[in-house]
Amino acid sequence: MRPSVYQWRKFKDQLHFYIMLGVIPLTVITTYVNVTVGPAELTEIPDGYEPKHWEYYKSPISRFFAKYVIHDKRIDYEGFVCYMNEESEKMIMKKIERMVRDFMKYRADYKSWYYRPVDGYHIRFEREEWKYVRDYLTGQKDAVAEENFFTDGGDPK
């Protein structure tokens, strides 16, 4: 009696399949590109032309990856500098806010940003209404109070 070799054969079949599927086509493509296109050569850069970040690589495959896969280092750097600038501005604003809070706490003369201004219309309306109710309850019907409270001149009923 012999142990089964099924797992060994299955492993070899899958290994050969993935080698044929991946390694061989990549080798063929790499060889073809290196033979037909070849490595890049240094030339003079015309005036006013700024080379792209992928044009600095020698191999065409490296240029392909630099163009379509890898980010430009200058763009990443500028993004990082922008992020650091925003964080610096946030720190400055927080420092100023702390100073303002300390001054308001020390001097105790300002209502801070929690203060909500009140519209004077409602206060005047309530005052006139209270005058009317007070005069009505005390029995002193004042024509001026009625006129101020009832703008249309109607009866309070």
Measure the N-to-C terminal CA separation of the chain; round to a whole number of Å: 113
Answer whether 0.75 is exceeded by the pTM.
no
State how far the Cα of 131 lies from the Cα of 143, in Å rounded to an integer: 12
Per-residue pLDDT of the chain (157 residues; tens, 9 = 90+): 788 899 999 999 999 999 999 999 999 999 999 899 888 888 898 999 998 989 888 989 999 999 999 989 999 999 999 999 999 999 999 999 999 888 888 877 776 666 667 778 888 888 889 888 888 888 766 555 555 555 554 454 4
Neighbours of 16 (CB within 10 A): 10
Would you give the DSSP letter of residue 5? -
